[in-house]
Amino acid sequence: MTDSAILDTAILWVQQQGVPIFWSAIVVLCYIVLTRQLFPKIDKSVDEGGFKNDALKKAYLTVRFLSGIVVVAVLLVVWGVDISGMMLVSTSILTVTGVALFANWSVLSNITAYFVLLFHSAYRRGNFIRVIDGDNYIEGYIADIGVFNTQFITEDREVVIYPNNLLLGRPTQINPRTRVAGMGKIAQVYEKKSSDTKDKEST
């Protein structure tokens, strides 16, 4: 087969597949634009939060993985791949995954909470926070935010791992004036505040 014949065949194929090629280029372009717009913002949030480069790598990897799945799915549709037999299963999986990314009971919701915490100015490395869970509390310094959990270090130098979705769904005090202990009953906090107030009044 001569070079001219190969070239003619390639040109003919491009002409026949013009529409899929066009939409594929649009999809890839959107992916590139999205990542280039999003990555600098993630980089800025990690830098302002004082987190390690490991947090940045995890964020990049998660974004690339999730967006890559979407791109592949769209390209399959664009190129007319027959996925009718898988449609019901795929729809069910996407529905369950979508709900799981936001439902508090799901492990996957920790990923959604991870990005919210990463971009939230209150959850910075070194901030002292108190998480209130009913009658109980846990407090400590933010050491790191991972994809699934956040690491606290208490004033007693104990390391506590707390799920991201629970941290986002609980009332939280940022840099409270009164500090009691790593974990305990919330009543201890009020007793400590009352004691500190009496000491100030007596002096």
pLDDT in tens, 20-52: 778 888 888 988 888 888 888 888 877 777 776
At 68 the pLDDT is 82
Give the closest residue to 165 by CA, choosing from 153, 178, 147: 147
Domain boundaries, the chain: 3-117, 122-202
* Contacts made by residues 116-122, CB under 8 angstroms, sequence distance 24+: 116/168, 117/145, 117/150, 117/164, 117/167, 117/168, 118/42, 118/45, 118/46, 118/49, 118/51, 118/55, 118/59, 118/145, 119/41, 119/45, 121/48, 122/172, 122/174
122-202 folds as SH3 type barrels. (2.30.30)
pTM: 0.62
Convert the pLDDT of each residue in 140-150 to its tens digit: 999 888 888 99
Binned at pLDDT 50, 70 and 90, residue 61 comes out as confident
Specify the residue for token string 């310094």.
141
Alpha helices, DSSP H, located in 50-108 = 53-78, 84-100
How far apart, in Å, are the Cα atoms of 108 and each of 96, 102, 166? 11, 8, 12
Q: Which comes out higher in pLDDT, residue 106 or 100?
A: 106
